[in-house]
Amino acid sequence: MWDIENTTPFTCHGCFLKDHMARSLWCLFLKAGFGIRPDKAPLFLSAQPPVLVGPQFDGPALVADSDICPPKPLCDFTLTGHAQPPPGKGRDGWPVTARIGAWRKTLHVLPAAVWRDGAVRVSRGDAEPASLGWDSAAPGPQGPEGPENPQGPGPGQDGPLPRLVAPGETHLTGQPVAFAPLARSRPARQRLGGTYDAQWQRQRAPLLPADLDPHFWQSAPRDQWLDPATLPGAEVELTGVRPEPLRFCLPQIGLEMATRFSGRWTQQEPRLQTVAMDIDRMQLTLVWAGYLPIAAAQNDILVERSFIALRDHKGFAASAHDASRFSTGIAQETA
């Protein structure tokens, strides 16, 4: 029976998966959680978040997709929570910008408005915080399976209108845009999921379709798929999500993953798969994965032991109580 020795202070999970090419994979996942602090290094969380073995929903809204999946071609970046207007501003809307290194994305928050008696009625009160999720985005075009964004409010029956739009769009003209993750059932992801037809049923089920695009495993919107090599140590700037801009740098964490398979140790390259920020909780999570192809599923008995170690780290701090969980020096915080 396989065993995992995780010498890092982060949480881990190991499992066997098959990809769309029917390859069997021994997979190691590691997840790290930090508190976001304006203009300071992220703070290691004493209670580390678990590796998610399934998607998390809040009603119909996907909060976070499963961390367990075959290899992602790129790294997902997601931003969830509520945008707050700048002090004394926002009655006419405000921009929200997320920047990581050279990558940047800007959306616009519109004033709260409703559709009533066939017209747009804009709130004239104080600016209200707005969700960064798909519940604030437009429904988008109607397809065979329904609207592109089934969570999106829109004109029809009296009710609220979208508030999160691309720059220059209005309550009625916007396409579905958000910073939050997309569920696998959403059309934008379903289109990448391959063909489940009679031929698949006869010749391939229960394996994944051979024409599945590996980008199907990306839960972030397409314009938030980032090159993982550019992210360690990258400067983050979030504006329009809190009364004042948020600036900090992503931690730099070097990992080692290895598995003894059939009596021999094999290195598994850890690759950053997800960078997620929850602005309401002021938390940052990072997820890495390492994959080891094995000849066949029945060879899982040849996976004996895996080892995960922290090779080097910088760019984050820990409380004095938590500093002892790191074998090498780390910046300590008294609070």
Residues 187 and 147 in one domain: no
Residue 290, burial from CB neighbour count under 10 angstroms (0-12, 13-18, 19+): buried
Q: State if pTM tops 0.75.
A: yes
What integer pLDDT is reported at residue 333 of this predicted model? 67
Residues β-bridged to residue 45: none
pLDDT band at 143 (very low <50, low <70, confident <90, very high): confident
Residues 275 and 151 in one domain: no
pLDDT band at 335 (very low <50, low <70, confident <90, very high): very low
Residues 100 and 190 in one domain: no
Residues 256 and 292 in one domain: yes
Give 85 or 79, the one with higher predicted confidence: 79
For residue 322, is it within any domain? yes
pLDDT in tens, 183-236: 999 999 999 999 999 999 999 999 999 999 999 999 999 999 999 999 999 999
For residue 234, is it within any domain? no
Residues 127 and 184 in one domain: no
What integer pLDDT is reported at residue 167 of this predicted model? 94
CB 70 within 8 A of CB 30: no
For residue 239, is it within any domain? no
Residues 136 and 22 in one domain: no
Helix boundaries (H) for 2-76: none
CB 279 within 8 A of CB 121: no
Residues 280 and 190 in one domain: yes
The Cα 125–Cα 271 span in angstroms is: 47
Residues 9 and 62 in one domain: yes
Residues 205 and 305 in one domain: yes
Domain encompassing residue 187? 1-81+180-219+250-335
For residue 242, is it within any domain? no
Asked which of 129, 150, 178 is the last residue of a domain, the reply is 178
What integer pLDDT is reported at residue 173 of this predicted model? 84
The Cα 45–Cα 42 span in angstroms is: 9
Peptide bond into 228 cis (omega under 30): no
Residues β-bridged to residue 32: 286
The Cα 278–Cα 41 span in angstroms is: 16
What integer pLDDT is reported at residue 298 of this predicted model? 65
Residues 107 and 43 in one domain: no
Residues 137 and 166 in one domain: yes
Domains contained in the chain, number = 2
The Cα 124–Cα 195 span in angstroms is: 49
How large is the average pLDDT for residues 273-295?
96
β-pairing, 271-278 vs 283-294, is antiparallel
For residue 160, is it within any domain? yes
For residue 243, is it within any domain? no
Residues 170 and 120 in one domain: yes
Asked which of 178, 209, 236 is the last residue of a domain, the reply is 178
For residue 238, is it within any domain? no
Asked which of 118, 147, 178 is the last residue of a domain, the reply is 178
pLDDT in tens, 33-43: 999 999 999 99
Contacts of residue 183, Cβ cutoff 8 Å, sequence gap at least 6: 55, 57, 62, 65, 189
The Cα 276–Cα 325 span in angstroms is: 23
CB 128 within 8 A of CB 94: no
Residues β-bridged to residue 266: 259
Weakest mean pLDDT among 86-95, 221-230, 243-252:
86-95
The Cα 220–Cα 183 span in angstroms is: 9
For residue 117, is it within any domain? yes
Tokens of 258: 């290895």
324 pLDDT higher than 90: no
Name the DSSP letter for residue 128: -
Give 271 or 61, the one with higher predicted confidence: 271
Residue type (1 letter), 300: D
Tokens of 193: 């999921």
